[in-house]
Amino acid sequence: MDFNSLSELLLNQSCRIRYATTSLHQLNNLTAERLPEVNFGGSDKRNREYLLGRLATKDALGLLGYPPTWVDRDSFTKSPVWPQGLAGSISHSSGLALAVVCESPPILGIGVDLEKANRAIDLRVAKHVCTPEESEDLHHLEQEKRTNRLLMTFSAKESLYKCCFGKIPKALLRFQNVTLNWESNKWTAHWQFPPGTEFSIDTTVGYWGIDLNWLWTVCWRWQGGFFKK
């Protein structure tokens, strides 16, 4: 599945980033012998989602010029364990998985999220997703645009969470601590931590697009993007 706007974005970066997708249809056409054994004690749906993500990751690694290997997950954090010198992120939604991988350094972390662009989202979740500034902006939008912006905000903050996981203290890695500003196909994340917090982070820039009725958001962080006061 070709995500043209995502392809164009990644190919125009100064560093090498590649992506790949895997659909449930592709997974169902593979024999068991070509798949790793997966049994985490969860539902069949969760196991299928795991396989979708790992198949997409395997293809993305190959496109980046590395051996297309299976990526394991950390038994404690449940996060993917990337090969040395690489960083990546995985997302899946409604039978499709998207994986992005890049060389690390210069990129130290990357996050991606995938959502159905027409996904119904309850506006009441805004209080859990949005800062007061973002909620105020939502109220000035028409109903349909309000729903779209809330979905975009949720997706962007999901990609931010993945990008920053393990680098920002977990107690501070909260949707309510970051406000997003939107401009064309770009969004900017402004972090605000509680007073007295001995931690800070530079403004994070991310991107979004819609391909084939799928909304994607992605962001990455360079060396030196975090510091303690």
Would you state the pLDDT for residue 228?
A: 41
Would you state the pLDDT for residue 32?
A: 78
Strands (E), the chain: 17-23, 86-93, 96-103, 107-116, 178-183, 186-191, 200-201, 204-211, 214-222, 226-227
pTM: 0.92
Mean pLDDT of the chain: 91
For residue 202, name the pLDDT band (cuts at 50, 70, 90): confident
pLDDT at 139 over 50: yes
Residue 16 to residue 103: CA distance in whole angstroms: 6
Please provide the CATH number assigned to the domain covering 4-227.
Answer: 3.90.470.20
pLDDT at 115 over 80: yes
Q: Which residues contact 42 (CB under 8 A, 6 or more apart)?
A: none
Residue 187 to residue 152: CA distance in whole angstroms: 10
Would you state the pLDDT for residue 225?
A: 59
Q: Which residue has the higher pLDDT, 42 or 147?
A: 147
For residue 182, name the pLDDT band (cuts at 50, 70, 90): very high
pLDDT at 41 over 70: no
